[in-house]
Amino acid sequence: MKLPLAGVRVVDLTVVWAGPFGTLLLADLGAEVIKVENIHVWQPLTRGSMARPPKALMGSGPSWTTGYPDDEPGERPWNRCPTFVNLYRNKRSVTMDIRVPEGRKPFEDLIRTADIVYENNVSETMEKLGITYDYLRSLRPDIIYIRVPAFGSSGAYRNYRALGVHLEGVSGHTLLRKYPDLDVSANTQIFAGDYFAGTHGAFAAIAALHYRNRTGKGQLIEIPQVEVATGMLAQFLMDYALNGRNGEALGNRDYHGAAPCGVYPAKSGSPPLNPDPSWAPIPRAAQFEPQATDRWIAITVCTDDDWRALGAVLGNPPWTGDPRFATAEGRRAHHDEIDRLLAEATRQWDVWELTRALQARGVAAGPVMNARDAFEDPHLRARGLFRRMTQVDCGDRDWVGPFIRTEEGFLPMHRPPVAMGEDNEYVYKTLLGYSDAAYTWLLEHNYIGDRFDDSIP
């Protein structure tokens, strides 16, 4: 398959999540993305929370930071952290310390070969390193510089540090998605803003390439993550601007007024299809099997026809014919009562049987899945989302592959998640023309490598 960005080279200076997701999309589309790393500097939460986490940390916290393969840190934990491996398929990695001449020179040589430089650091970080648009243009006049900082390169917050959870708060999303009867501190962290910012960054990079192809000019593009996150909630901002009204948290209810809308208890069941017989479930997963009663189904009734269809599926219990519930306005007014009645009905059903029955009548419904459900989901497996490849420090595993599908199938996953420094020889010798002796000198003097410095915990 010929990929649309084949021949495009991206120098990746990104950290954590929003930036790496943007360059991941470019890599999936065929760009050669080269992640620049420093064996003497630990970037928090990029290759994990620690370079050398103790075994006691394994499985003790969020899966994306402590869910290492087989609950073992391994010899090189930085190549095994779920956060990292999720975002670094189809990429290359090179190590160089751009703070010193021995690393700055090859960095500048690499920029001269690149089409795009992509970063999402705090603004002052890049300034301290001297990596400005003018500097990059002096090395490659038509370079495209994509910047995706948390708050932008100007304004009072320009040098504020932030992760996804902070951007959720600043954008107003945290308050909007809580349950009305719970304090906001009960919220679970989500990171939707990271993905939106990454998508915007990749889109902007592709648009800039198109512009350069037409004009011969590169450009500087800045996409502050907080502005993308705030833009996701424009309807609430407009309601305040037009009406002076602050949006309120609705829990699982629908902001557009569909009723009922919520998540309701159900019985455990089997998915509708058999998995690919060539694939075997993970043996260790049995110890994490959820309780049979810990199943839920999401249901949204959008129209009066949906309401009647829901009633028919449930056997038309008397309450579904209550005239108070006949219209959307009435159902919204009595949502609490409907929730109680509907929960009593759904808890008698197998979650998948009810899903199939409602979907057959055109009612939006679906099971609330856990990680095992999603990973073993026959629909996703039949479509080929997961790809089996061997990664040097994780072994032979099923990985989530590129999401984009063409008439030829999903975009290829041609490289597993990259190990740090895996492409040092390729970059230094093949791209930059370093001799064997010059390359060996950098290794022997600890300027490059595939392990973080022993002083980094």
Q: What is the CATH number of the domain that holds 177?
A: 3.40.50.10540
In order along its 457 residues, the chain shows pLDDT tens digits of: 899 999 999 999 999 999 999 999 999 999 999 999 999 999 989 999 999 999 999 988 888 889 999 999 999 999 999 989 999 999 999 999 999 999 999 999 999 999 999 999 999 999 999 999 999 999 999 999 999 999 999 999 999 988 888 888 888 888 888 888 888 887 777 778 899 999 999 999 999 999 999 999 999 999 999 999 999 888 889 999 999 998 888 889 998 899 999 999 999 876 655 455 555 555 555 455 544 457 999 999 999 999 999 999 999 999 999 999 999 999 999 999 999 999 999 999 999 999 999 999 999 999 999 888 899 898 999 889 999 999 999 999 999 999 999 998 889 999 999 999 999 999 999 999 999 999 999 999 999 999 999 999 9
Q: What is the pLDDT of residue 250?
A: 84
One domain, residues 337 and 419: no
**How far from 279 is each of 185, 283, 376, 397, 415, CA to CA, in Å?**
41, 12, 9, 11, 21
- Asked whether 198 and 138 are in contact (CB, 8 A), the reply is no
Pairing of strands 295-300, 261-266: antiparallel
- Give, as one character, the DSSP assignment of residue 431: I
Q: Which two tokens stand for residue 390?
A: 């061997």
One domain, residues 195 and 83: yes
Q: What is the pLDDT of residue 314?
A: 98
Q: What is the pLDDT of residue 64?
A: 80
One domain, residues 52 and 161: yes
Range of the domain at 191: 9-230+400-444
Burial call 386-408: b when 16+ CB within 10 Å, e when fewer? bbebebebbeebebebbeeeeee
- Residue 239 counted as domain residue: no
Q: What is the pLDDT of residue 294?
A: 78
One domain, residues 274 and 183: no
Closest CA to 223 of 239, 205, 249: 205
Q: What is the pLDDT of residue 292?
A: 45
Domain count, the chain: 2
**Gap between the Cα atoms of 227 and 232, Å rounded:** 9
One domain, residues 288 and 151: no
- Give, as one character, the DSSP assignment of residue 96: -
Query: Residue 52 is which amino acid?
Result: R
One domain, residues 352 and 308: yes
